[in-house]
Amino acid sequence: MSEVLHLQSRAYPLHHRSPDTGTELVVVPGLGELRPVVGALRSLAYNPDTTIELDLTTVIRSAVTLPGAEIIACHARILTAGTVLVVYALRHERDLRQLGLHELDALDAQVNRVLREADSPVLTAVLAASVAGGLMDGVALRPDLALGGGRSPIDRQSARYNAHFVTVDPPWEPDARVPDLTAGPDCRLLLPYTYAWDRDPATPLFDLLTMTEPTDIAVAQQSLLVGALIAGRWVLADLAHGQPESTDVHAFRRFLDGLWSDFHHLDGYRIESTQAHRASYLAAREVIGLDDTQERADKLLGYVSNSLLAAASQRSEELDARLNRVAAALAVVSAASFGLDIAVFVLPQVSLATKLGVVVGLLGMAVSCLMAVIVPRSARRSARRRLLDRTVPRPRTPGGLAVPGDDEALFAPQGP
């Protein structure tokens, strides 16, 4: 076994609420029981922020195998700000200290792909059990799901993760493209989302989780924004393809309220954390471009909000037009009924043929008015144009060619 502990911290944006309930056993069907424990972000210096800790080692080991490595532990941390961190502690058979930086990065990416494929059904079952057990409530993963009012398994597309390599005197130097940033003690930024820590790998896991908290908070914020960017594009695609009926402006507004509330809750880490952890947090958010992602998300989601408002306004106008046509139709029917009453009162002694003529005339007038009111103007215009095309011959040029109508002239060749 090598003297390197490999930690992968994956952040899932769930936009959940954490009800104030007891930490009762959570039963995961087919996988056993989990005992939630109340924890905290221990790197905060001022106001405490609680977490709910779940040890997933047993359920993960029973369902996931990783060739060439041993799963030492798997831990889930449910944060107050609508995010869940899933942390793997791995020990590899090969000596990671002998690998170059980019070989190390390729190994880490391959391990992450294998783990994400293998643990997806397990984490989905744990999430469902946690919601059923009251650990989380009001899960809303993406704007499209929030609009539809549905639930979905964990959204893997929006998840982002950090790689941590814990060893005494790490041999890797930062990539030349990484800006020269000052991180906290024992932390070395190798690549975006990749860190080396000068610490004994035998350190207890909870102490290591406290050590990596600042960089994991930054990646949790990144996952929140990436999930919003992905789903914001989906909402725009629905609107662009003329499917506004699946959108709900008020549900989207509530989703955005939750998104920015979660983001800025985590953003408070920059002023709430200790000096050493704050330095690592600020360096991590700069190297992963968190501020740029926030600006992009702000612009895109603002554009989506404006498009949803425009779609809602269009639907309101169409509904008002239909209601106006219905009201006008009812007025025509009432007028026809009133006309019949007058005719019966004024002409009591006339012949049956006269009465039938009056009734037929009034009914014809009523039907004509109803058609004029109910049928949309564009449909009436199209029908009138088709009738004219069939009955009125078009003028012809001296060469015998028909003169194009308005619709043909629109698509006729232009220019000489």
Residue 273 has pLDDT above 70, yes or no: yes
Tokens of 39: 């924890």
Say which amino acid occupies 263: F
CA pair distance 160, 120, nearest whole angstrom: 14
Position 71 confidence tier, pLDDT thresholds 50, 70, 90 = very high
Lowest mean per-residue pLDDT among 62-66, 203-207, 274-278, 402-406: 402-406
Q: Please provide the DSSP assignment of 251-267 as one string.
A: HHHHHHHHHHHHHHHHH
* Whole-number percent of the chain with pLDDT over 90: 45
Residue 359's pLDDT is what? 66
CA pair distance 162, 211, nearest whole angstrom: 13
Residue 336 has pLDDT above 80, yes or no: no
Mean local confidence (pLDDT), 269-289 = 95
CA pair distance 242, 20, nearest whole angstrom: 42
Residue 308 has pLDDT above 80, yes or no: no
Residue 314's pLDDT is what? 60
Mean pLDDT of the residues in the chain: 80
Residue 392 has pLDDT above 60, yes or no: no
Position 263 confidence tier, pLDDT thresholds 50, 70, 90 = very high
Residue 150 has pLDDT above 60, yes or no: no
Of 322 and 296, the structure prediction assigns the larger pLDDT to 296
Of 157 and 33, the structure prediction assigns the larger pLDDT to 33
CA pair distance 190, 101, nearest whole angstrom: 8
**Intra-chain end-to-end CA distance of the chain, in Å:** 82
Q: What are the pLDDT digits (tens) for 113-127? A: 999 999 988 998 898
The side-by-side arrangement of strands in the sheet containing 50-55 is 37-40, 50-55, 69-79, 83-92, 5-13, 160-167, 194-198, 187-191
Q: Around Cβ 343, how many Cβ atoms within 10 Å?
A: 17
- Per-domain residue ranges of the chain: 5-288, 322-393
**Which residues, 6 or more positions from 160, have their beta carbon under 8 angstroms from its beta carbon?**
10, 11, 193, 219, 222, 223, 226
Residue 328's pLDDT is what? 64
Over its C-alpha atoms, the chain yields an Rg (Å, rounded) of 34
CA pair distance 333, 30, nearest whole angstrom: 66
Residue 68 has pLDDT above 70, yes or no: yes
- Nearest CA to 4 out of 89, 68, 85, 73 is that of 89
The answer to whether 108 and 194 are in contact (CB under 8 A) is: yes
Mean local confidence (pLDDT), 172-193 = 93
Mean local confidence (pLDDT), 318-343 = 63
The answer to whether 96 and 22 are in contact (CB under 8 A) is: no
Q: Please provide the DSSP assignment of 122-157 as one string.
A: HHHHHHHHHHHTTS-B----SHHHHHHT---S--GG
Q: What are the pLDDT digits (tens) for 231-244? A: 788 778 777 776 65
Of 342 and 126, the structure prediction assigns the larger pLDDT to 126
| pTM exceeds 0.85 for this model | no
Residue 175's pLDDT is what? 94
Residue 58's pLDDT is what? 93
Q: Mean pLDDT: which of 66-80, 122-136, 333-347 is highest?
A: 66-80
Position 198 confidence tier, pLDDT thresholds 50, 70, 90 = very high
Position 365 confidence tier, pLDDT thresholds 50, 70, 90 = low
Element spanning 163, H or E: strand 160-167
Position 372 confidence tier, pLDDT thresholds 50, 70, 90 = low
CA pair distance 222, 83, nearest whole angstrom: 11
CA pair distance 282, 230, nearest whole angstrom: 25
Phi, psi for 167 (deg, rounded to 5): -160, 155
CA pair distance 339, 345, nearest whole angstrom: 10
Phi, psi for 139 (deg, rounded to 5): -65, 125
Say which amino acid occupies 414: Q
Tokens of 157: 């597309």
Lowest mean per-residue pLDDT among 65-74, 214-223, 312-321: 312-321
Q: What are the pLDDT digits (tens) for 284-293? A: 999 999 999 9
Residue 248 has pLDDT above 70, yes or no: no
The answer to whether 221 and 91 are in contact (CB under 8 A) is: no
